[in-house]
Structure 1
Amino acid sequence: MAQFRETPYGVFNYLVDLSDGSETDVAGGFSEVSGLNAEVTVAEYRAGNQKTNYVTKVPAIHKSGDITLKRGVIGAENLYNWLDQVRSGDITAKRNVVVKLMSENHAESVVQWKLVNAMPIKWTGPTLTAKGGSDVAIEELVLAVEHITQE
């Protein structure tokens, strides 16, 4: 359950549970999680005999956006293997992924977002360049999500 306080929490303490046992492992450590959003579409309706000259907006389908996870390339194959599972048509590949915002001392989660029936739809490898420098090789996984809940 989300914990209320007057000062906002920082964005830099979080865990991602891919439901593959890598939550606190380096293989599950991500440098960025983006795209957490939910949207309710509306249907516009107006009866022909309605006296007001505007439409009524009725809640319709709700949807969740795609979630992007980024991490440094460490040679772990769990993300690519999950994508490969989806590509091969495995209907059990959907998972419930949980993103946990942690307290400053990492002792407890203060807000959790559950990504219901998430599955990878895009994997992007790092951009490689011979210029040198201190950039980290980053891989990216985009998840399609059916529903997001906040706990």
Structure 2
Amino acid sequence: MTANGVARDVLGSFRFDVELDGMLVAGFSDVQGLESQTEFEEYREGGVNGYTHRLPKGTRYSQIVLRRGFSSSSALWDWYDQTVRGTMTRKSGSIILYRQDGEELCRWNFFEAYPVKWSGPSLDARSSDIAIESVELVHNGIKAIFNRK
């Protein structure tokens, strides 16, 4: 509870799903890159010495990194390989975060993404770690949608 009596959700970061082109893609162990930064330009106005104007120029979005346990599915590799061969397929998608009760809390939609990097698993016969593959996506923006139930 906050000071004004409103209940506050404190959420774990482990209840999430990934959708690509409307299809639920299960099994990602982590997602990184839900990030945007607005660039600005400084402008000094003559006669105004107390501050400098800062005017927005544009917004940049970080690459989204999706990691999952390596499996017999070649879907991520195939998508990346299309880009390598010059026939890239853009996909829009969502990262969906859930409340403890399983209800959707927030959805970050990203638009017209395609893979620019694929990483295969690190292999070590002396380790019992899970084999992980990852794909990095560039995209044309993020929009957050909050379910305020």
TM-score, length-normalised on structure 1? 0.84
Map Cα deviations across residues 93-123 of structure 1 (whole Å, 9 max, x no partner).
Answer: 11111000012243x3110000111111100
Q: Does the Cα contact within 8 Å between 1:63 and 1:146 map onto a contact in 2?
A: no
The one of 102, 106, 110 equivalent to 1:111 is: 106
Name the structure where strand makes up a greater proportion of residues.
2
Give 1:87 deviation, angstroms: 2.0
Match of 2:119 among 118, 121, 124: 124
Contact 2:67 2:133 in 1 (8 A): yes
Residues 115-144 of structure 1: CA deviation (Å, up to 9, x unaligned):
11111110000001121x321000011111
Consecutive aligned runs of 4 or more in structure 1 exceeding 4 Å deviation: none
- Whether the 8 Å contact between 2:22 and 2:93 is mirrored in structure 1 is no
- SS of residue in 2 equivalent to 1:123: strand
The Cα of 1:54 is off from its aligned counterpart by 4.0
Are residue 134 (structure 1) and residue 134 (structure 2) matched? no
Q: What RMSD over aligned residues (CA atoms) do the two structures have, in Å?
A: 1.9
| Structure 2: runs of 5 or more not aligned | 1-5
User: CA shift at 1:51, angstroms?
Assistant: 3.2
Partner of residue 68, structure 1: 65
Identity, % of aligned positions = 30
Partner SS state of residue 8, structure 2:
coil
1:79 alignment partner AA: L
